[in-house]
Copies of this chain bind each other. A is one copy, B any other.
Amino acid sequence: MSKDAALPQSHWKAFASRRRDPETKREAVLQTAAQLFLEKSYGRTSLNDVAERLNITKPALYHYFRNKEEILLECYRLGTGLIEEILNDIADHCGTGLEKVEAFIYSYANVMTVNFGRCVMRLDQGDLSEDALSEVRSYKRKIDRRLRSFIQEGIDDGSITPCDPKIAAFSIAGALNWICMWYEADGALSAEEIATQFARTLTQGLVNRKRSRVNAKVSKQETMA
């Protein structure tokens, strides 16, 4: 009850009354659908499942969505909307390329702990129709381009070590996108912890600089094979 906003829960109340309030009911459908898609995947979630959790019947859903795919697409849209927001915020607050990348990692990690955000990267694009797919693809392309441009900026301004921005972006995006595969709201790691630690690990790397000379000696002679 107290953490109602944070926990995935109980949107069936929206349908308790038959009062006319399409917006909140539509939202309730999306929330529970997103939840179920993340729990069981889109393919294994039937519209009956969604309806059941809302205490209504399947055909009622068709008052708010044309078909199952529209529900899915809407989840993608809401999720990509969240990401777009953070991208714009970061582009505004100017700083070095490295700082932008760091800010990106932090914010994006947080989005990957929100249902709609998780949907974007966790659900299977292959379930979308051709048109919807190209729409989603364009959103994702935009994200990728932005991240690469931040990295390129960093290389140009000297804050980031010279490297292939494409591969660096794949590496960072991969680490971040994978969060939506293992994160659980009631798990040991909070969204905050994940975000800060990822920002640190991905930018700084693993190498211990303080003892780098000492280890250099040892490591050279024992490199495997």
Contacts and interface: CB of A to CB of B under 8 A. Distances in A.
Interface of A: 40-41, 43-44, 90, 93-96, 98-101, 103, 124, 126-127, 151, 154, 157-164, 166-168, 170-179, 181-182, 189, 193-194, 197-198, 200-211, 214-215, 218-219, 222-225
A93 B179 contact: no
A204 B201 contact: no
A203 to B, nearest CB: 5
Contacts of A210: 161
Given A96-B219, A177-B178, A206-B154, A201 B159 contact: no
A167 B198 contact: yes
8 contacts: A40-B126, A43-B43, A151-B206, A159-B215, A163-B206, A164-B197, A171-B201, A175-B178
A98 B175 contact: no
